[in-house]
Amino acid sequence: MAAMERNLEEPGQQPPASSPAPLKTTPGYVANLVVGDVLVFLLFAFFGLTSHHELNGGVLPAQIVTVALPFMLGWFLVAPWLGVYRRKLETSTRLMTFYTLRAWIISWPVAMGMRWLFVERLHPVPLDAFLTFSLVVFFTVLVLLMVWRWPFAWYRSGRTRGLH
């Protein structure tokens, strides 16, 4: 009984066999989130290209990447500085939702600036069309980010509690 009461942090101590093993944060945690985020932007570009019937000759990966690039740049230039890859988000759906929402609200204007720099500056569109497109981008990417990141945190939180 005395051994059970000792701090389990002492070297050589193991948790009792009946308790689930705690979730060890893997070195690939950030890489998993980054890959998922990249896929979100690629999926967004694919949806946009197909909805506007702009895929020339079928699915062209280079075309999808080109369309997604300004949005990925906006996200990856801003979001990491706002904590979207912190370990504390790994097992908290509430924190993952808050940090993702905050990061996208702040990244979105940067992403739209990149889009203007790479596309609209060279091929101008009316301001009202750009603003409408900006709102579509905001809501569509936000939904895609949440559909990816919230379940990730939910799954990881279940593993922490020994449910998965």
Predicted confidence (pLDDT) per residue in 82-126, tens digit = 999 998 888 899 999 999 999 999 999 999 999 999 887 777 889
Distance CA 33, CA 91 (A): 13
23-82 pLDDT, tens digit each: 455 568 899 999 999 999 999 999 998 888 776 666 688 889 999 999 999 999 999 999
Q: What is the mean pLDDT of residues 8-25?
A: 45
- The string of pLDDT tens digits covering residues 126-136 is 999 999 999 99
Q: Which residue has the higher pLDDT, 7 or 150?
A: 150
Query: Residue 5: enclosing H or E segment and its boundaries?
Result: helix 2-5
Question: Of 108, 102, 63, nearest to 86 (Cα)?
Answer: 102
What does the alpha-carbon distance between residue 70 and residue 107 come to, in Å, rounded to a whole number? 11
| pTM of the predicted model as reported, rounded to 2 decimal places | 0.78
